[in-house]
Structure 1
Amino acid sequence: METDCIAPARPRSRADGWLDWVQMATGAALALFACMHMLFLSSVLFGAGALNGLSAVMDTLHLETVGGVLIAIVFCVHATVAARKIPFKAAQAVTAWRHARLLRHPETWAWIAQVVTAFIVAALVTIHIWTGLTDLPVQAQKSAVRVQFGGWFWAYLLLLPALALHLVIGAWRAGAKWGLVTRENRAVLTRNGLYLLAGFLCLSLLTLLRFRLLPLD
């Protein structure tokens, strides 16, 4: 279902089509980065030295700085383009909620969940990106301090499920919109999406717990 189904009907222009492509491309890039970033951070499960070693290599190649800035730009573009389909006005939000309750359609509820998680992700990821870029290079001890003090542990407990759900729903809905999800493969892709969601959550929560329990020098 289209994300702008709640908004007043208007003719779609060629610009709308291009913006949809930009939204999908930036979303795919951010999803790929989120998975790679989590794999990078999860190296701490093998010890602080593993994460610090990988970070040192990336810092030598300036990948952390350049990559962080590029991801911040892509994140801003994606959020700006996607925001055009979010009902910010109270009346639109109420209408969306009423439609969801009336239709009782899984895809409508998925859209509601994507909008709600979008606000959570936008707020917390913005702070996360700023905190990370202003405290490079990434090191296990630095991350452990943030998780163990300052309330970031609880913020990540909120962010990680919201991010995982947002990514999976976004990928599924993009596939449905562009014809990759069909009636024939819908059940299989939905099941695989749930497996991906569970795997991402398990790895991210284990990594978070490792930072929570990492001894501080």
Structure 2
Amino acid sequence: MTFEDNDLYRDITGFAHDTPVWVQRTAEAWTEAGLLVFGVLFVIFWWRARHADSRAFAIAALAPVATAVAYVCSELLKSVITEERPCRAVPDALPSLITCPPTGDWSFPSNHSTIAGGAAVTLVLVRRALVWLTAPMALLMAFSRVFVGVHYPHDVAAGLLFGVLLAFLAVRVGTGPVARLTETMRASSSSAARWLTGPGATATARPSRHAAHARR
């Protein structure tokens, strides 16, 4: 199955070949390294959420899980649609900057873009201000997949949308149950469970001088 954006694909890959070598190498690195950066962000905000209330912790814990759910659904959809990669299917196109995936590793939708969209939106649910970081990261990752020549533009657009929608829904559906599980684990006698979920939003503020004086 194919769609008609061959000309746009040729334009983008032609532009990629005209860029300096360092730009090409950066795009080649980012197309994979971006996944690692999202993974690091997941860990950072899970760790911080250990000192937050149960709902905030639930959202942070669900962020990578929801992204993984979106990825699995994307992989299943690829196996149904079976679109050939543009680096093999588009006539008169320049060679891809990275090795063209083998036949059977289908093109639509882009798994990388699905993960990027899912990660971006779930991290924004954790902390809204992250939109200024995660949205550009996701867009750059999606564009890089076309830039290096292994996806059509429609692959990455669909992947982003697919990841955003599925991950968002997964977090919304799972937040309540995971928040209740978090409260149970925080009250558990298991030290591993308590470490995993953290102490929660405990009242650690010192009493004011006025309050201390009033108690004397």
TM-score range, shorter chain: 0.3 to 0.5
Structure number having the greater helix percentage = 1
TM-score, normalised relative to structure 2: 0.33
Greater gyration radius: 2
TM-score, normalised relative to structure 1: 0.33
